[in-house]
Amino acid sequence: MASLVHELKRLFGAGRDGSARGGVTGGDPALLELLDLPLLLQEARSADVAAARVGAKDTARRRLDAAVVWREAARRTGDPVHLRKAAANAEMAATGFDRARRSEPWARARCEQAFCALLGAELFADHGLNAAAEVAFKEARALVRGGLTAALADTGLAVLAGRAELATGDAQAARRAYERFTRPIAALDVLARRENLARVLAAEARLMRADLICAWGARLADPALLRLAVDEAAAAGRRVDAAYEPLSSIRAEIVRAQALTLWGETCGDLEALTAAATVAEAALGEMARDHSPLDWARAQMALGQALQSLGEGTLDERAFEQAVTAYERAQVVLKDCPTAALRAQCAGARALSLTRSAELTGDLAVLDAAEAAMKIELSNLHAGRDPVAWALAQLHLARLYEARIGITGRDDGRRAGAGLALDAALDVFAEQGLRSLAVMATDALERLRSAPRTAV
């Protein structure tokens, strides 16, 4: 592997005069996975230079290649600047292709614009981007009858349909969401027999399906759906070679660990939770933080979630302490992504682990630290921009207040504060159709109301 890295640095490195060479990956996702982040960013800048060079042939194609590279950079860093560069290059590529004479590359450029929008919606909880992505995917699909671009458009539309129904759909709707991926994945599998790019994209499509079904299973607390997500993530991992597509392999293992954790929680299976922690630890052992910071942070969060669930199942304080450590490692990366939805999720999970640790040990200093951190996180959130993340933070803050009252036996006004936070959170969860979170908020309100009143 060391020799491979050395050869990549030689191939993608700067010339003797220090100038970067033109982009040479052609936006091939498999080749991009082998580049660490500094080399990836260098490749993105080189692709921009190559596209802007006077006299360059097929500038639109070069713009499309640059868009793919910048989107991968955004995916690894959560940097909105990288994502804007990707979207801008994709737009220029679509403008550069003649829609009538070069319908296939034009449709591919529109798909790239749509995937940029999908990533933006995921990273920054900007759900308006989903509508823009749907328009682009439909325009692309209307222009091509089959092939790689049609499969990509169908995959994107399947993701969007699943996201749209996620808040209100039942288990049957989840199964329909799963089946929407069947045709594009089958098409990509056929194309993969003669084109390596299609093999990587087929694995990516399976991973999108696994992630979506995992979200459905979590919302409905449905063991069958969660088991399906575990199996689908494993299938995605088997479709790639970890030596040559390391990030695809690691991303599949992260989703598998998350699905295993949720499945273990739902079924009360401690062995599944232990297996989830093992899978996450193995994924972390296969990657360096600087290769893909966001994937590394996600792997740390997957490990933290598994350990936190083990702590709940065993009442082992050490498991919560280890979970807090994993979340804090993730926050080393996420502190540089203030707009990333993942940051709020990590902060909330860390606060819950600290709460449970404090309840088991009676350590109020732990609660003080957790409460201060959660208030800082709340100050960075906006209810209008990301209502769910804001409501989750309110739910976690109320849990911290509840824990303090339970440990001290005294109410210094936090009971009222917890009630206000839970009422606000419940309103959001009800509006968004998040049934399981609404139940959690309702149960917490009932505990507050039924608990004996304590003196200040």
Q: What whole-number distance in Å separates Cα of residue 442 and Cα of residue 27?
A: 49
Q: What whole-number distance in Å separates Cα of residue 29 and Cα of residue 104?
A: 19
Residue-level pLDDT at 117: 97
Q: How confident is the model at residue 97 (pLDDT cuts 50, 70, 90)?
A: very high
Q: Which two tokens stand for residue 244?
A: 């040559």
C-alpha dihedral sign at 181, 130, 254, 174: negative
pTM of this prediction?
A: 0.84
pLDDT of 2 over the 80 cut: no
> What is the DSSP code (8-state) at residue 260?
H
Residue-level pLDDT at 13: 46
Q: Which amino acid is at 195?
A: E
Q: Which two tokens stand for residue 210?
A: 């696994």
Q: What is the dihedral of CA 420, 425, 426, 429, to 10 degrees?
A: 170
Report, as an integer, the average pLDDT of 381-396. Answer: 81
Q: Which amino acid is at 101?
A: R
List the single range of 109-123, 193-207, 426-440 with lowest mean pLDDT: 426-440
Give the count of alpha carbons within 13 A of 354, CB side only: 28
pLDDT of 113 over the 50 cut: yes
* Residue 50 contacts residue 89 (beta carbons within 8 Å): no
pLDDT of 383 over the 90 cut: no
Q: What whole-number distance in Å separates Cα of residue 278 and Cα of residue 272?
A: 10
Report, as an integer, the average pLDDT of 44-73. Answer: 90
Q: What are phi and psi of 56, to 5 degrees?
A: -65, 140
371 or 210: which leads in pLDDT: 210
Q: What whole-number distance in Å separates Cα of residue 38 and Cα of residue 58?
A: 27
**Treating both helix axes as pointing N-terminal to C-terminal, what angle do 387-408 and 364-379 enclose, rounded to 10 degrees?**
160
List the single range of 4-13, 97-106, 312-321 with lowest mean pLDDT: 4-13
Element housing 177 (H / E): helix 171-179
pLDDT digits (tens, 9 = 90+) for 147-189: 999 999 999 999 999 999 998 889 999 999 999 999 999 999 9
Residue-level pLDDT at 409: 81
The string of DSSP letters for 398-423 reads HHHHHHHHHHH---SSHHHHHHHHHH
> What is the DSSP code (8-state) at residue 254?
H
The string of DSSP letters for 182-204 reads HHHHHHHHHHTTT-HHHHHHHHH
pLDDT digits (tens, 9 = 90+) for 312-360: 999 999 999 999 999 999 999 998 776 667 887 888 888 889 888 888 8
Span between the terminal Cα atoms of the chain, in Å: 63
The string of DSSP letters for 219-233 reads HHT-HHHHHHHHHHH
Report, as an integer, the average pLDDT of 388-405. Answer: 85
Q: Which amino acid is at 113?
A: Q
C-alpha dihedral sign at 366, 368, 372, 374: positive
Residue-level pLDDT at 20: 41
Nearest to 394 by CA among 357, 436, 429: 429
pLDDT of 276 over the 90 cut: yes
> Strand, coil or helix: what is 413?
coil
Q: What whole-number distance in Å separates Cα of residue 357 and Cα of residue 162?
A: 36
Q: Give the start-end residues of each E strand in 278-337.
A: none
List the single range of 118-132, 207-221, 242-256, 378-392 with lowest mean pLDDT: 378-392
